[in-house]
Amino acid sequence: MRIVAGQFKGRPIVAPKTQATRPTSDRARESLFNVLAHADWAPPLDGARVMDLFAGSGALGLESLSRGAALCLFVETAHAARGAIRQNVETLGLFGVTRVHRRSATDLGEKPAGSGDVFDLAFMDPPYHKGLVEPCLKSLVEGQWLADDALVVVETAVDETPDFSGWEIVNTREIGAAKIWFLKRA
């Protein structure tokens, strides 16, 4: 795996050595970020505050930082995945613009008062077919983690259709076995 574009273009990133993590491919990340770069409904990446939920290797958050995001909060429960994220952060020298939370993305709780502004963009790449999208979206809203006009990018299996009640689907893309949903609050 590598960073596709931006300041760290071509730099390799590591993924956890476990079958429990399914990293987003370079091709899928390139397609996703091309949509974000050109869509008038997407927040600008430059200076954005980003969340990478079910972060795994942290590839989506790291790609955001490479393309100008100001900060990324990685949310991950798996020990091996958090280790890979820390290794990638260290390799790329991204201390100070990253945070790693060992917390379930489906139970974030209230956003801590001292954690800065709300987030402009959230990536959610949960394990497929586990019913985790709906509780994660609910947790983001109830915990007041997102800006009013934030964009949430959800990756599911092509054959999954979560309940997006309370959300507007502004776009979708199918990339191989994955379906990418771009959501804004309704």
Residues in the chain: 186
The residues, ordered by sequence, that sit 6+ positions from 42 with a Cβ below 8 Å of its Cβ are: 35, 36, 151, 182
What is the pLDDT, as a whole number, of residue 26? 76
pLDDT given for residue 22 in this prediction: 63
Classify residue 161 by its DSSP letter.
-
For the chain, which residues score pLDDT lower than 50?
none
**Domain segments of the chain as ranges:** 26-185
For residue 171, give both structure tokens.
């776009």
Report the CATH number of the 26-185 domain: 3.40.50.150
Query: In b/e form, how buried is each residue of 117-128, taking b as 16+ CB within 10 angstroms?
Result: eebbbbbbbbeb
**What is the pTM for the complete model shown?**
0.95
Question: DSSP characters for 18-76?
Answer: STT--PPPHHHHHHHHHHHHH-TTSPPSTT-EEEEET-TT-HHHHHHHHTT-SEEEEE-
